[in-house]
A = this chain, B = another copy of it.
Amino acid sequence: MGHLDLPSRHLERAVEEISSLPGIGSKTALRLALHLLGKPQEVVDRLAGALVEMRRGIRHCRACGNLSDHELCPVCSSGRRDASQLCVVESFREILAIENTGQYQGLYHVLGGLISPMDGVGPSDLSVDRLLERASGPDVREVILALSTTLEGDTTNFYLHKKLSPLGLEVSTLARGLAVGDELEYADPVTLGRSIAGRVKLAP
């Protein structure tokens, strides 16, 4: 569609701003802008207000680094979580994903990234010291490294494992293997190999 000559600078600016969002091209941006034009002023004000207030109001949990409206996030301030488990994640996005499974009742620790020499990210750029401090606390018995199964994730796993070992804790990583619903025939060989090596004994 290229560049349309829009009849309004206001509309042009709105389309420009909307299309700066990821995955939204100028055609979709125009469609969204025209949609909003057809709505009452209050609807647009409410959307705009929600965005501004979100950006202004959200902070990071003082304890784990999760997103939060308060000093402590809902996970850390809940009295019902198991303080003996600490799950290390790259960012708050992974906390959302893990919480969504309903399978984990412990606490989290947000690293703020992964070690990546290529991108110039080293351990000192991540909240590793704070992790070691928390892991040394009296309650923690297990640290679960829930990082991506990428080169950077593996590097970070390796580094953290080395740092955590002296603390005498149990350190684990997520199981690797076939995704639920995967057809064996189409599984990639590395994953399939891992799932054979890590095979699980069935009860007799």
Which residues of A are in contact with B by a Cβ distance under 8 Å? Answer: 1-2, 4-11, 13-14, 16-18, 20-24, 28, 30-37, 39, 41, 44-58, 61, 66-69, 73-75, 92-93, 95-96, 99-100
Number of copies of chain A assembled together? 2
Say what secondary structure dominates the interface of chain A: helix
**Which of B48, B58, B92, B93 is in CB contact (< 8 Å) with A49?**
B48
**Which of B35, B52, B69 is in CB contact (< 8 Å) with A9?**
B69
CA distance A73 to B30 in the complex (A): 18
In this complex, the member of A32, A44, A48, A95 whose beta carbon has the largest number of chain B beta carbons within 10 angstroms is A48
Nearest neighbor of A28 in chain B, beta-carbon distance: B23
Contact in complex: A68, B4 (CB < 8 Å): no
Contact in complex: B44, A51 (CB < 8 Å): yes
| Residues on the B chain within 8 Å of A35, using CB | 21-22
| Residues on the B chain within 8 Å of A6, using CB | 67, 96
* Interface CB pairs A-B, < 8 A, 21: A1-B100, A5-B99, A5-B100, A7-B67, A7-B73, A7-B92, A10-B53, A10-B54, A11-B67, A13-B54, A14-B51, A14-B54, A17-B47, A21-B32, A21-B36, A22-B32, A36-B51, A37-B58, A41-B55, A44-B52, A45-B52
